[in-house]
Amino acid sequence: MRPVPFLMAVLISLVGGLPAAGLNAAAVSPNLSYQRSPVPAQVPLARIGVPKAILDPSGVKLSVVVNAFDSPPKDVEGSPPGGGRWTVLDVSVTNVGTSPFQLTAGDIILMAPDTTIYQPDGDPDLPKPQFADTTLMPGDTLRGNVVYAIPGGAMLQLVAFQAPGMAQWVVALLGA
């Protein structure tokens, strides 16, 4: 048997029992029930306060929750040294995997609608304590602040998690 006809026969047998668009399901198969959904299936959005599972191809397994987003925070006076505003995320990260994970505040980034990325501010004069670099052992959770100096007028769209060697994961949409 030649490979091309064999593959065509397999494809025809796989597709043969499926209803075609616009056909009545009863005309295709009397035992088949087919209905079109009036609303397409929705993927749940990443939201503030909702844990986001990170199952990275690198093997890292985390649960990240943006507990709160303050921009500017109500309990902080003044602005960053270069102007603009302070923005503070209250974040919890849990290692749900089986290997230790090196976590830094720099793993949590903010992104604007124009894809501008804002890294946490590393200045020692931050208005709130920022969580320190740490090794999260399996089962450990770290909760703390991540502080950013955002330029005046900048819009923010989402919070993402991206550690070295990992894909970028959206963990919360801002304003959603």
Report how far residue 28's alpha carbon sits from residue 78's, in angstroms, rounded to the nearest whole number. Answer: 70
Q: 132: which 2 tokens?
A: 């320190």
Q: What is the DSSP string of 72-131?
A: S-TT--S--TTSSEEEEEEEEEEE-SSS-EEE-GGGEEEE-TT--EEPPP--TT-SS-BP
What is residue 24's predicted lDDT score, i.e. its pLDDT?
43
pTM more than 0.75: no
Q: Which residues are bridge partners to 148 per DSSP?
A: 87
CATH of domain 52-173: 2.60.40.1240
Residues in the chain with pLDDT values less than 50: 1-29, 33-34, 36-37, 39-43
What is residue 122's predicted lDDT score, i.e. its pLDDT?
72
Segments of the chain assigned to CATH 2.60.40.1240: 52-173
What is residue 44's predicted lDDT score, i.e. its pLDDT?
56
- The phi-psi region of residue 58 (left if phi > 0; otherwise alpha if psi is between -120 and 50; otherwise beta) is alpha
Report how far residue 48's alpha carbon sits from residue 174's, in angstroms, rounded to the nearest whole number. Answer: 7
